[in-house]
Amino acid sequence: MSSASALVLTAHGSADPRAAANTHAVAATIRRMRPGLEVIPAFCEQNSPNLVDVLRSVGDRAVVTPLLLADAYHARVDIPAMIAESGAQARQTEVLGEDDQLVAVLRRRIAEAGVSRLDRVGVMVTAVGSSRAQANSRTATVAEQLVAHTNWTAATAFAAGPHPNLAQVADELRDRGADRLVIAPWFLAHGRITDRVAGFATAHGIPMAQPLGPHRLVAETVLDRFDAACSIEVAA
């Protein structure tokens, strides 16, 4: 890995300031974990600094590391287009995806919401959803991983876009025998969509866990993607 490489932590951007604050918090966690590594937050839209501007400043040292869970439109279209627009020969890493470290964080957030691994509870793993069916299929595997070594049952709801939605998944889990439910948001930060999910939770008396946030394992997963991209360059 080149010591000159800069990790450009790239989020989509949001009108909700909590989302940008989370990106900066993840960046700060990464800096603490790896002193000396240049970590630069960047955004595709709505927040600054803009990814194109950052890449024009950093140039070919940039390793664009998406702070995204799903391998969907933003990772496949938006970010590559912005890299091309910048003119920099920047590398782009894989998204964070359904990494087992992130599933461990989600499991911890559920525990923080008052749910034990021994409880017989239905977990509504709630994600944003994508127009790309493969991305949704991958997201759905989180529920399968989550219930390992627990008494939980889980299913995936999409808060926007594809079905099943929250109400449908709540009914499905009750049909499976769950008389107690909890919503587990597969989101990195709070925002307008998680607020809508929280509104559903309140209206139906269902507790809701916190998003993944700037947990150390989130930062560790970002570094794993960065290191993998740098290792490929060295091998080449």
Domain residue limits at 223: 6-97+214-235
pLDDT of res. 233 = 62
Q: How many CB atoms lie within 10 A of CB 192?
A: 11
Q: Residue 209 falls within a domain, yes or no? A: no
CA-to-CA distance for 85 and 193, rounded, in angstroms? 29
Same domain for 189 and 138: yes
CA-to-CA distance for 136 and 185, rounded, in angstroms? 15
CA-to-CA distance for 71 and 136, rounded, in angstroms? 9
DSSP string, 126-143: EE---S-HHHHHHHHHHH
Q: Residue 231 falls within a domain, yes or no? A: yes
Paired tokens of 90:
């920047």
Same domain for 198 and 183: yes
Mean pLDDT in runs of 10 for the chain (236 residues)?
80 96 98 97 97 97 97 93 97 97 98 96 94 88 96 95 92 96 98 96 98 98 97 63
Measured CA to CA in angstroms, residue 161 lies from 41, 101, 130, 132, 212 at distances of 28, 26, 6, 10, 21
Paired tokens of 205:
């008396």
Burial class (CB in 10 A: 0-12, 13-18, 19+), 183: buried
Instruction: Taking each helix axis as running N to C, give the angle between helix 17-33 and helix 216-235, from 0 to 180 degrees, rounded to the nearest 10.
Output: 60
Question: What's the domain count of the chain?
Answer: 2
Question: Residue 120 is which amino acid?
Answer: R
Q: Residue 1 falls within a domain, yes or no? A: no
Q: Residue 15 falls within a domain, yes or no? A: yes
DSSP string, 185-210: E--SS--HHHHHHHHHHHHTT--B--
Q: Tell me the CATH number at 118.
A: 3.40.50.1400
Same domain for 116 and 29: no
Q: How many CB atoms lie within 10 A of CB 164?
A: 15
Predicted TM-score (pTM) of the model is 0.94
Identify the bridge partners of residue 11 per DSSP, sorted by sequence position: 43
Same domain for 117 and 87: no
Kindly report, residue by residue over 128-184, the tens digit of the pLDDT: 988 888 888 999 999 999 999 999 999 999 998 788 999 999 999 999 999 899 999
Same domain for 111 and 68: no
Same domain for 79 and 40: yes
pLDDT of res. 162 = 80
pLDDT of res. 130 = 82
Same domain for 86 and 133: no
Which strands sit side by side in the sheet containing 122-127, from one edge to the other?
A: 153-158, 122-127, 181-185
